[in-house]
């Protein structure tokens, strides 16, 4: 995620902002930039890399501005270069703004602005907002212009805005992306998280979605989405800097589990156009997919399980066979792949060496390569024929959580896009797309039950072994859920297809070997119920994840965690969220090192 810091008051605003940006570095630091007042006008300075590089640009010392807005960029829309670094400005260089989030309708807005002769300096979605405010500000005052423009924008944003015409005013606005205000003695801070201002003040408040705050002449006015003035209380933040980075969550992993809905939203925004999936709109890919006999795919860990889920999506909807293989095996056995194949890979970090080797092998044999990656500027997307970015911000916890959900969302969209290309269009395409848009809301409902999951985890955290079962779309989720439990809590967990369990693993089942059965009401529900009965007969403790209102399963399982009703292809987003929480709370009970589990690293660049 990117980071925002702004300041107005009696201190050196450039120093305050760069110091704040340094606190936000952990969220990503591809580039940073700042706007401040110098010689009665606004000046902008940007630099690639860490905020320290930005500081070094001021070779004659930091200018003595009392107001500034600043930003750390973690590249999502557009490559990492100076032009794409924030703050962005309008045609005349009057309005400057820094933004976290994603503007969904950026493409259409950009086209319209171009027709009205606006000239763009960057390829970001953010710059569009500056041009829109420029237009509106010719007719109404700055605050009104901001309000009007934000009403026409869809997507998420935390924004800070400053204008050359009113260089003593900062406007801050929030919708779906964190933004905090801080207050000192005659000074105000704005930051995407409180850690950026804790060195100066402990008095802070989080803005609410729809809020627009105007800071000027030592006063603050906040109005809500309807434009009505609201009173929001500053409170004394007792967190230290490290706690503030986690925004109150005990661990980054928990924060990132709760960012799952936003991650899914950011991954699909802008990729459903006119009711159709548009993930990788590329003529060569279309041609390859039309002619392909199969997709060959390979990755590691969680990314591998997201591909396993992608296989179910692609085979179900695009009727195209997908082979999935562990990357370290794929390249060591010199797998068979050729020019007619499409090679698909997934990597959060974009630099996992095993995955990279698999990609290189596929390319050396002439396959067309598509990668889904979170981190821009890394080697895997840079050498792939097509790179699709997850747009979910940095994932700090070693265990992938929001990444899995984002990758799954992109793979579902891709499968529908391939279905369109191959004319295997499914009747329920509309329903799935509509449902997918609603998934973040359903995930929030699931996460709201975290206290139930926590209580249940406590009852089960003393067990040493778990069996995770699923079928169809939820079989890869079972594997991913078991991996989460293993790596976060160091508890042995193995996943099986629910139907396969009677061919061996059933022998393990006794009162000390609990089963986590994923059993939403879907096309394989009855079969999973039979499998659950086989376990109960053998006296194994059983937790089921089921659809709300399912009383039958309540009579079979010892405990049930419920998800809302949804299309069966969408249930993995909900079941995976529950399993992430479950693994987290078991690990918490067992006192594990949750954000940095023993023996593991976030990015594995050795083979």
290-309 residues near ligand M6R, rule: CB under 6 A: 300-303
Part in contact with ligand M6R (CB under 6 A); list of ranges 59-67, 316-324, 397-405, 463-471: 397-405
448-487 residues near ligand M6R, rule: CB under 6 A: 487
- Listed residue (464, 553, 477, 554) closest to 510, CA to CA: 464
Which residue out of 169, 437, 527, 602 is catalytically annotated?
Answer: 602
487-506 residues near ligand M6R, rule: CB under 6 A: 487
Interaction of residue 136 with ligand M6R, rule CB under 6 A: no
User: Cβ(119)–Cβ(187) under 8 Å?
Assistant: no
Which of 236/599 has CB closer to ligand M6R?
Answer: 599
Binding flags for ligand M6R, 353-382, as an x/- string (CB under 6 A): --x---------------------------
User: Cβ(388)–Cβ(252) under 8 Å?
Assistant: no
286: three-class secondary structure by DSSP: helix
Pairwise CA distance, residues 74 & 384, whole Å: 21
**Position among 76, 89, 267, 400 found at the interface with ligand M6R (CB under 6 A):** 400
Interaction of residue 167 with ligand M6R, rule CB under 6 A: no
183: three-class secondary structure by DSSP: strand
Pairwise CA distance, residues 196 & 3, whole Å: 9
Q: Is the backbone peptide bond immediately before 343 cis, with ω within 30 degrees of 0?
A: no
Binding flags for ligand M6R, 326-355, as an x/- string (CB under 6 A): ---------------------xxx--x--x
Pairwise CA distance, residues 24 & 72, whole Å: 8
Size of the site for ligand M6R (CB under 6 A): 16
- Side-chain-side CA neighbours of residue 442 (13 Å): 24
Which residue out of 2, 279, 300, 592 is catalytically annotated?
Answer: 2
User: Cβ(316)–Cβ(422) under 8 Å?
Assistant: no
Which of 19/253 has CB closer to ligand M6R?
Answer: 253
Which of 574/594 has CB closer to ligand M6R?
Answer: 594
Q: Closest approach of Cβ 598 to ligand M6R, in Å?
A: 12
Pairwise CA distance, residues 481 & 449, whole Å: 17
User: Cβ(565)–Cβ(521) under 8 Å?
Assistant: yes
484 given a catalytic annotation: no
Q: Closest approach of Cβ 223 to ligand M6R, in Å?
A: 42
Which of 153/408 has CB closer to ligand M6R?
Answer: 408
Residue with token string 């803005």: 207
586-605 residues near ligand M6R, rule: CB under 6 A: 600, 603-604
Part in contact with ligand M6R (CB under 6 A); list of ranges 67-75, 196-204, 398-406, 569-577: 398-406
**Position among 34, 150, 320, 399 found at the interface with ligand M6R (CB under 6 A):** 399
602 given a catalytic annotation: yes
User: Cβ(138)–Cβ(103) under 8 Å?
Assistant: no
Q: Closest approach of Cβ 475 to ligand M6R, in Å?
A: 18
Per DSSP, 319 falls in state -
Altogether, the residues listed in the chain come to a count of: 607
Part in contact with ligand M6R (CB under 6 A); list of ranges 45-53, 394-402, 438-446, 495-503: 394-402
Which of 157/305 has CB closer to ligand M6R?
Answer: 305
**Distance in angstroms between the alpha carbons of the first and the last residue of the chain:** 28
Which of 176/597 has CB closer to ligand M6R?
Answer: 597
**Planar angle of CA 500, 502, 505, nearest 5 degrees:** 85
- Listed residue (582, 266, 261, 260) closest to 449, CA to CA: 582
Residue nearest to ligand M6R (CB): 301
Pairwise CA distance, residues 224 & 231, whole Å: 10
Interaction of residue 398 with ligand M6R, rule CB under 6 A: yes
Pair type for strands 295-299 and 322-326: parallel
Which of 43/357 has CB closer to ligand M6R?
Answer: 357
Q: How far is CA 601 from the centre of its chain?
A: 20
Which residues belong to the active site? 2, 602
Q: Which residues bind ligand M6R (CB under 6 A)?
A: 300-303, 347-349, 352, 355, 398-400, 487, 600, 603-604
């Amino acid at each position: 995620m990117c980071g925002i810091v702004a300041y107005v008051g009696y201190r050196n605003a450039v120093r305050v902002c760069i110091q704040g940006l340094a606190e936000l570095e952990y969220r990503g630091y591809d580039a940073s930039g700042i706007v401040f007042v110098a010689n009665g006008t606004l000046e902008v300075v940007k630099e690639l890399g860490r905020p320290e590089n930005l500081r070094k640009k001021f070779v004659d010392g930091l200018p003595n501005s009392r107001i500034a807005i600043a930003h750390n960029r973690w590249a999502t829309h557009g490559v990492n270069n100076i032009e794409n670094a924030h703050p962005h400005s309008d045609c005349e260089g009057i309005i400057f703004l820094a933004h976290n989030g994603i503007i969904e309708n950026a493409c259409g807005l950009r086209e319209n602005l171009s027709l009205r002769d606006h000239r763009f300096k960057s390829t970001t979605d953010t710059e569009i907002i500056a041009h829109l405010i420029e237009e509106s500000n010719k007719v109404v005052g700055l605050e009104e212009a901001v309000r009007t423009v934000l009403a026409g924008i869809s997507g998420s944003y935390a924004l800070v805005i400053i204008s050359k015409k009113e260089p003593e005013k900062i406007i801050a606005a929030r919708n779906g992306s964190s933004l905090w205000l801080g207050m000192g003695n005659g000074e105000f801070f704005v930051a995407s998280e409180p850690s950026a201002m804790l060195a100066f003040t402990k008095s802070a408040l989080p803005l609410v979605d729809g809020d627009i705050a105007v800071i000027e002449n030592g006063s603050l006015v906040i109005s809500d989405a309807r434009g009505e003035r609201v009173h929001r209380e500053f409170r004394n933040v007792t967190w230290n800097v490290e706690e503030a980075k986690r925004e109150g969550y005990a661990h980054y992993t928990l924060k990132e589990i709760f960012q799952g809905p936003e991650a899914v939203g950011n991954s699909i925004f802008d990729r459903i156009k006119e009711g159709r999936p548009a993930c990788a709109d590329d003529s060569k890919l279309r041609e390859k997919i039309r002619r392909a006999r199969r997709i060959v795919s390979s990755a590691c860990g969680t990314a591998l399980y997201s591909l396993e889920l992608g296989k179910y999506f692609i085979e179900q909807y695009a009727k195209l066979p997908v082979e999935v293989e562990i990357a370290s095996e794929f390249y060591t056995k010199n797998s068979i792949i050729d020019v007619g194949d499409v090679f698909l890979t997934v990597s959060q970090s974009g630099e996992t060496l095993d995955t990279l080797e698999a990609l290189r092998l596929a390319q050396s044999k002439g396959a067309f390569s598509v990668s889904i990656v979170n981190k821009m500027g890394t080697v895997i997307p840079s050498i792939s024929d097509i790179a699709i970015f997850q747009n979910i911000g940095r994932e700090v916890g070693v265990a992938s959580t929001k990444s899995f959900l984002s990758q799954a969302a992109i793979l579902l969209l891709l499968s529908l896009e391939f279905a369109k290309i191959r004319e295997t269009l499914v009747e329920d395409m509309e329903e799935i797309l509509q449902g997918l848009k609603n998934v973040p809301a359903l995930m929030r409902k699931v996460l709201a039950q975290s206290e139930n999951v926590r209580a249940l985890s406590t009852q089960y955290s003393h067990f040493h072994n778990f069996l995770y079962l699923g079928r169809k779309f939820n079989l890869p989720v079972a594997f991913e859920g078991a991996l989460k439990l293993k790596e976060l809590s160091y508890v042995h967990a193995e996943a099986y297809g629910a139907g396969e369990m009677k061919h061996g693993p059933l022998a393990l089942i006794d009162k000390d070997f609990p089963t986590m059965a994923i059993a939403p009401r879907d096309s394989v529900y009855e079969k999973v119920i039979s499998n659950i009965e086989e376990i109960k007969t053998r006296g194994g403790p059983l937790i089921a994840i089921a659809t709300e209102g399912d009383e039958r399963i309540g009579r079979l399982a010892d405990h049930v965690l419920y998800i809302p009703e949804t299309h069966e292809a969408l249930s993995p987003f909900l079941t995976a969220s529950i399993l992430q929480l479950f693994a987290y709370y078991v690990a918490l009970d067992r006192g594990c090192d949750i954000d940095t589990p023993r023996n593991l690293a976030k990015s594995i660049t050795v083979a």
